[in-house]
Amino acid sequence: MASVNQSMMPMMPYFYPMPSQFYNHLRGFNPSSPPYPSVSMPMTMSPYLKKASFDRKKSILGVKKTNPKISRARSSKKIHDKQFCVTDTPSTDIVKSLLSNASPTEFTKLQPKNLGVEAPFWLPVLFAPPTTMDIDDTEIMVATYIFGTNKDNEFGRQEILAKGCKFDATRYSFFNLIPKGWIDQTILDVYAHMLNDEEKTTSGVLRHWYLPTVFSQMALSGTIPSSQAREDYKEAFMGKVEVLRKIYVCVNEDNLHWYLVIFDMNQCQVILLDSNPDPKKKATLYLEWMLQHDSFYDFESTIRPKVSEFPIWEALGIGRQRNDSFDCGIWVATWMKNCIWIDDYNIYVDDATRMRIAIDLIMKSYNLKKNTIIKAAKKNYKKFEEKNKNLVKKIRVYVTSYCISWKNSK
């Protein structure tokens, strides 16, 4: 996979021009004001701000909860009318710009969802929840806490957001979940923590082993004995072979590309899943050597699997990642989560997949910092709410007065 091309930045959205007197009502804004200072991150990402939707029970604009049974178009029109419009609002370019996705303050407005989640005002975030997501208020607060522009500093990036018993991930690693970011091993390691915890919770035993990325690194190094991997990671990531169904191993190729190797113990085969396939060497002896140890078995009579003799099957027709999307790690994580009980590996990955991974890594029970982060996210949200309340009121007052003035002039 090619390295990130820093020159390929996303296109900025077009915003309708506003009369110069408009900015007199908004301190700190002028026709040439940028949306927000450019972030300094080692990745290609959107430099403009986006907003997230918030508490539907209390809105500073007095918006009622959207009825889930109402169509999106009808619901959207009702909210727009209630927020910005007076009766018989003239269809001027300025008013249209206020009702469109691109607002004059250069924030992107998230359209209301049929689930009742509404967006009464804007917040500065580096990555907003896509409109296609099923998301609740707490998850929105968590997303804002993860990707808020106020956290884009050296101190904020070093904060640990997800912590398992073996691995943890800082905000710096979470920032790589922003579209076109290439995720590093820490995200996949804590994701393996999360999936193993869910497996233990739902099944009581580990029928699927989600191994951390370090396992493949140890296997391919040729210098670390399999006994070392067993000692370090058996308790957290492995169980008994008698109930074992599949083993998932994330493999990194030259620090440029991720692919997934699945060892199907029932079918006695090795499955290769690659979102950008290319011929490569595979290592299976390492796993076979490790599984010879008696600690993996309840019964001495259990036959030790000959993993190296499994036929290798490369899945076809599973889709391919978009060019320059750097989604290989996202595909690997999605395969691990979605393809447990079925052998259909044809999946769909988009920006909402990245956001869902980020939120799940915070809110699932494996995360030892779950309650701390959620509490901090709610506190962070309230600060943004107070900070932006006056700005939204000024916009509403100005738009209303402008519409009335226009109507009176006619």
Q: In terms of DSSP bridges, do strands 312-314 and 269-273 run parallel, antiparallel, or are they unpaired?
A: parallel
CA pseudo-torsion sign 326, 330, 331, 332: positive
| Host H or E run for residue 211 | strand 208-211
Per-residue pLDDT band at 326 (split at 50, 70, 90): low
Q: How far apart are CA 302 and CA 242, in angstroms?
A: 7
Q: Which two tokens stand for residue 228?
A: 């070392």
Burial state string for 232-253 with b = 16 or more CB within 10 A and e = fewer than 16: bbeebbbbebeebebbbbbbbb
Please state, in angstroms and rounded to a whole number, the distance separating the CA atoms of residues 33 and 31: 6
Does 253 lie in the same domain as 207? yes
Q: What is the pLDDT of residues 218-268, one digit of tens each?
A: 877 777 888 888 888 888 889 898 999 999 998 887 777 888 888 898 888
Task: Inform me whether the pLDDT recorded for 89 exceeds 80.
Answer: no
Give the model's pLDDT for residue 300.
79
Query: What pLDDT, on the 0 to 100 scale, is given for residue 189?
Result: 93
In a domain, 338, yes or no: yes
Residues 305 and 339 in one domain: yes
Residue in this structure with the two tokens 């009579």, named with its chain if needed: 301
Confirm whether 354 is domain-assigned. Answer: no
Amino acid code (one letter) for 76: S
Q: How confident is the model at residue 317 (pLDDT cuts 50, 70, 90)?
A: low
d(Cα 164, Cα 180) in Å, to the nearest integer?
26
15 in a structural domain? no
| Residue 129 and residue 231 in one domain | no
Domain count, the chain: 2
> What is the mean pLDDT of the segment spanning 190-196?
92
Residue 305 lies in a domain: yes
Integer angstrom CA distances of residue 333 from 109, 122, 152, 274: 29, 31, 25, 12
Range of the domain at 77: 29-155+370-409
302, 340: one domain = yes
Q: Which of 349, 380, 397 is the last residue of a domain?
A: 349
How far is residue 79's CA from residue 119's CA, in Å, rounded to a whole number?
Answer: 10
Using pLDDT thresholds of 50, 70 and 90, give the confidence band for residue 82. very low
- CA pseudo-torsion sign 227, 233, 236, 241: negative
Q: Would you say residue 49 lies in a domain?
A: yes
Looking at the structure, do residues 317 and 403 belong to the same domain, yes or no? no
Digit-coded pLDDT (tens) for 133-189: 888 888 889 998 999 888 888 888 999 999 988 899 999 999 999 888 888 899 999
Confidence class for position 348, pLDDT limits 50, 70, 90: confident
Mapped onto helix, strand or coil, the DSSP state of residue 22 is helix
Domain holding 330: CATH number? 3.40.395.10
In a domain, 4, yes or no: no
Q: What is the pLDDT of residues 198-227, one digit of tens each?
A: 988 888 889 999 999 888 888 777 778 888
Determine the Cα angle at 278 with ends 273 and 284, to 5°. Answer: 55
Q: Are residues 340 and 388 in the same domain?
A: no
Same domain? For 129 and 191 the reply is no
**Model-wide pTM > 0.75:** no
In the predicted structure, residue 304 carries a pLDDT above the cut 60: yes
Residue 161 pLDDT: 95
pLDDT tens, residue by residue, 113-129: 344 454 334 667 888 88
- Cβ–Cβ < 8 Å for 52, 125: yes
| 285 contacts: CB under 8 Å, gap ≥ 6 | 307, 308
Of 242, 281, 231, whose CA–CA distance to 261 is shortest?
281
Same-domain pairing of 188 and 333: yes
pLDDT of residue 409: 74
Are residues 86 and 210 both part of a single domain? Answer: no
In a shared domain, residues 65 and 113? yes
pLDDT of residue 84: 32
Same domain, 189 and 304: yes
Average pLDDT over residues 376-392: 80
Whether residue 345 has pLDDT greater than 80: no
- The average pLDDT across 378-385 equals 84
Instruction: Classify residue 117: in a domain, yes or no.
Output: yes
Minimum mean pLDDT range among 108-112, 172-176, 314-318: 108-112
CA pair distance 130, 311, nearest whole angstrom: 41
* Pair 345, 374 in one domain: no
Question: Would residue 167 count as lying in a domain?
Answer: no
Q: Could you tell me the two tokens for 106? A: 């250069």
Query: What are the angstrom distances between the C-alpha of 297 and each of 84, 233, 243, 290, 398?
Result: 67, 16, 10, 12, 72
Characterize the bridge pairing of strands 269-273 and 246-253.
Answer: unpaired
List the one residue out of 291, 292, 270, 290 whose CA is nearest residue 282. 270
Of 141, 119, 125, nearest to 45 by C-alpha is 125
Structure tokens at 274: 């690659």
